[in-house]
C-alpha cells in the first residue's frame, strides 16, 4: 500500500479550501451542478480557488455540461481539470478535452463487474478515471455522485487499465485504509465523509482524512 493522493470534492467554503490546502490535498473539487448542496457559481469558485496554491489542482465537476457552460466557467476560474460526472459518451468526453484544453477526469459509476466493461472506451478520451458508486434506482433524492455510497472495492483490486484512476464513494477516515488496501487505489476522492451534513464541509474532518491518508 502506498500513500494515496487525495481529492477533497465539493469545496464550498473558505474554511474547507484552507483546510484542504494546509493539510496536503492534491486535488480540490468545485461542483458546478446547481441541484447539489455543494454547488458553487463561477465567482464563488474563483474566490475559493484563489485560497489554494498551485500545488492543489483545481478540478471543476460538471454533469453533462454544454460548451457554453464550460467556456463561461473556464473564463473565470483557473481549473486544471474537468471532472465529467454525468452520462458523457467517450466521443463527448474527447470533444470536451480537445475543445476546452483541460485534462479530463471521467467518472465511471460502479455497482457490479459489468459496469467496468465501458472503461476501455474511455481510455483514449480521458486522462484519468474516477470510480464512484452507482446509486440504486430506488434511492430517493440520489445525486449523480456524492451520495456517501460505497461499492465493492474488490472489483478494482486487479485492475490493469491504461489510465491512472481514483477511488471514490463512501470513503471516510475510518474506512480509508481498508479501501486502499483492497482496491490498491493510488488516489482517492471524498466528499460526504468530510461533512457534517450534505454540503457542510467540516475542516476538522478534512484534516483527519488527509492525515490518515498520509499514514498509508
How far apart, in Å, are the Cα atoms of 84 and each of 9, 48, 58, 211? 13, 20, 14, 28
The residue number with the shortest CB distance to ligand LARABZUK is 146
Binding residues for ligand LARABZUK, rule CB under 6 A, total: 27
Q: Does 143 bind ligand LARABZUK (CB under 6 A)?
A: yes
- Of residues 165-184, those binding ligand LARABZUK (CB under 6 A): 168-171
Nearer residue to ligand LARABZUK within complex by CB, 33 or 153: 33
* CB < 8 Å & 24+ apart, contacts of 179-185: 179/150, 179/153, 180/1, 180/4, 180/216, 181/1, 182/153, 182/154, 182/156, 182/157, 183/153, 183/154, 183/156, 183/157, 184/1, 184/156, 184/157, 184/159, 185/4, 185/156
Q: Which CB sits closer to ligand LARABZUK, 21 or 61?
A: 61
Using the rule CB under 6 A, give the single segment among 27-35, 118-126, 179-187, 204-212 that binds ligand LARABZUK. 27-35
**Nearest distance in Å: CB 83, ligand LARABZUK:** 6
- Contacting positions for ligand LARABZUK (CB under 6 A): 9-10, 29, 31, 33, 36, 38, 61, 63, 85, 132, 143-149, 168-171, 189-193
Amino acid at each position: 500500500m502506498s500513500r494515496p493522493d487525495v481529492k477533497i470534492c465539493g469545496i464550498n467554503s473558505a474554511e474547507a479550501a484552507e483546510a484542504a490546502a494546509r493539510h496536503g490535498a492534491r486535488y480540490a473539487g468545485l461542483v458546478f451542478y446547481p441541484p447539489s448542496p455543494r454547488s458553487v457559481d463561477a465567482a464563488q469558485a474563483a474566490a475559493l480557488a484563489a485560497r489554494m496554491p498551485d500545488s492543489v489542482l483545481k478540478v471543476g465537476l460538471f454533469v453533462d455540461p454544454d460548451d457554453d457552460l464550460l467556456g463561461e466557467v473556464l473564463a473565470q476560474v483557473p481549473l486544471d481539470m474537468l471532472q465529467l460526472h454525468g452520462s458523457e459518451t467517450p466521443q463527448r468526453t474527447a470533444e470536451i478535452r480537445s475543445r476546452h484544453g483541460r485534462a479530463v477526469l471521467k467518472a465511471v459509476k460502479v455497482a457490479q463487474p459489468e459496469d467496468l466493461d465501458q472503461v476501455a472506451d474511455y481510455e483514449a478520451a480521458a486522462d484519468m478515471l474516477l470510480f464512484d458508486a452507482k446509486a440504486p434506482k430506488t434511492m430517493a433524492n440520489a445525486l449523480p455522485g456524492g451520495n456517501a455510497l460505497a461499492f465493492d472495492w474488490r472489483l478494482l483490486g486487479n485492475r490493469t487499465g491504461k489510465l491512472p484512476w481514483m477511488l471514490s464513494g463512501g470513503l471516510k477516515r475510518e474506512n480509508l485504509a481498508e479501501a486502499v488496501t483492497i482496491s490498491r487505489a493510488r488516489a482517492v476522492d471524498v466528499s460526504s465523509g468530510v461533512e457534517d451534513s450534505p454540503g457542510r464541509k467540516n475542516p476538522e474532518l478534512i484534516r483527519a482524512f488527509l492525515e490518515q491518508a498520509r499514514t498509508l
